[in-house]
């Protein structure tokens, strides 16, 4: 035994409890690492399932908002069609009033011109309203998708703090909002 061995032996003889405690600390360290690894192995599938639930909601949310946007477009189209039919009926009345007398002829043409201007303005207004409704729906969808993405990132962060790797990479929600 060399000088180091003699020094260790003397130290052990002088303080055996310290050496035992030191040995137990090493054993506890490796035991804790093993327990942590087992916990991480148990939590990995749970984390993956929770993430799958969060990301799995995306298609149903998009579908729901797509239905709302389609309904808004359909309502806008029906309103525009009704305006067109109303304009046609009024235009026929204005045209039939034209030419019966000299005075009425001028008023019939004027009425027809006014109807056309009013119709164009109404169609433009309705188109803008429908567009604004659909844009509002798209923006609400984007907000909900961002909240969903934030939940997934929070989950990933929570598990990362516990040493569990969750495979999730956020993507841009902007292309998904156009329903």
Per-residue pLDDT tens for 34-58? Answer: 888 888 888 899 999 999 999 999 9
For 26-55, letters b (16+ CB in 10 Å) and e give eeeeeeeeeeeeeeeeebbeebbebbeebe
Average pLDDT rounded to a whole number, residues 149-162: 92
- Checking if the pLDDT of 75 tops 80, the result is yes
Average pLDDT rounded to a whole number, residues 100-104: 52
pTM, rounded to two decimals: 0.67
Task: Select the more confidently predicted residue: 103 or 114.
Answer: 114
């Amino acid at each position: 035994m060399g000088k180091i061995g003699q020094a260790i032996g003397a130290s052990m003889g002088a303080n055996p409890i310290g050496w035992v405690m030191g040995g137990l600390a090493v054993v506890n360290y490796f035991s804790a690492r093993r327990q942590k690894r087992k916990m991480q192995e148990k939590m990995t599938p749970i984390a993956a399932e929770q993430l799958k639930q969060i990301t799995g909601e995306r298609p149903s949310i998009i579908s729901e908002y797509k239905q709302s946007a389609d309904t808004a477009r359909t309502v806008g189209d029906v309103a525009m069609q009704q305006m067109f039919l109303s304009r046609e009926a009024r235009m026929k009345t204005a045209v039939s009033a034209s030419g019966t007398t000299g005075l009425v002829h001028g008023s019939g043409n004027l009425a027809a011109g006014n109807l056309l201007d009013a119709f164009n303005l109404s169609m433009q207004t309705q188109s803008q309203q429908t567009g604004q409704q659909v844009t509002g729906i798209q923006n609400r969808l984007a907000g909900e998708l961002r909240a969903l993405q934030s939940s997934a990132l929070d989950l990933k962060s929570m598990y990362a703090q516990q040493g569990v790797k969750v495979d999730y990479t956020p993507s841009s929600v902007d292309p998904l909002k156009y329903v």
